[in-house]
Amino acid sequence: MNRRSTVTLTALLIAGGVLTGSSVPALAGGTATTHPRPDRPDDTRRTQQQVTRDWVQLWNGDYALAEHLIAPDVRVRAALLDGGDGSAVHGPAGMVDLIGQIRGAFPDLRFTVEVGPIIDGSHVVVRWVADGTYGGGFPGATAAPGTTVRFTGTDTLRTRHGLITDYWLNADTLLLTTQLGVESV
């Protein structure tokens, strides 16, 4: 491979997120320069993978993980079913409350990762699928308790020192509410 194709391949790998920071190899005839990124203090790939596993387990009802996973000043950005934007969620207890409200209508709700984790420094993205059984109590639902539901979403997390500091949620709530027979207003 000549120098030009090596440079092009390296540039593509860097742009695609495959090579970052200290993993950038020296180019033929030159030396690699690494620059520390201030947004990545200690969030290694292994740490991010563990954060992802714990995050899914938290959503699957293991609330004890919240204290060791969620930053006290976590910021949630989501279009919630109650019309909120997530800004009312504060700290680990707030996240547990949010998850508990959702799981309250679907006690056996199970989240699995469909795509990811996609890791880029301090950011982690996962596409998930949620399967469960409607237990009742969802506002406006006409579906009978026992109705099975399946919906999807994408979570984007920002971490610092292994704690989730920011959470963006995109969920297919239209699919969920349709399965529950919620009439549009």
Domain residue limits at 18: 1-35
Q: What angle do CA 149, 151, 153 make, to 5 degrees?
A: 155
The verdict on residue 102 lying in a domain is yes
> How many structural domains is the chain composed of?
2
> Which region among 28-32, 38-42, 59-63, 107-111 has the lowest average model confidence (pLDDT)?
28-32
Q: Write the CATH number for 65.
A: 3.10.450.50
Tokens of 26: 């020296």
Alpha helices in the chain (DSSP H): 3-15, 45-59, 66-69, 91-105, 173-179
Question: Who has greater pLDDT, 33 or 177?
Answer: 177
The amino acid present at 135, given as its one-letter code, is G
Pairing of strands 163-171, 70-77: parallel
Same domain? For 63 and 29 the reply is no
pTM, two decimal places: 0.74
The pLDDT > 90 percentage for the chain reads 63
pLDDT exceeds 60 at position 139: yes
For residue 43, the model assigns a pLDDT of 57
For residue 44, the model assigns a pLDDT of 85
Secondary structure (3-state) at 20: coil
Same domain? For 51 and 107 the reply is yes
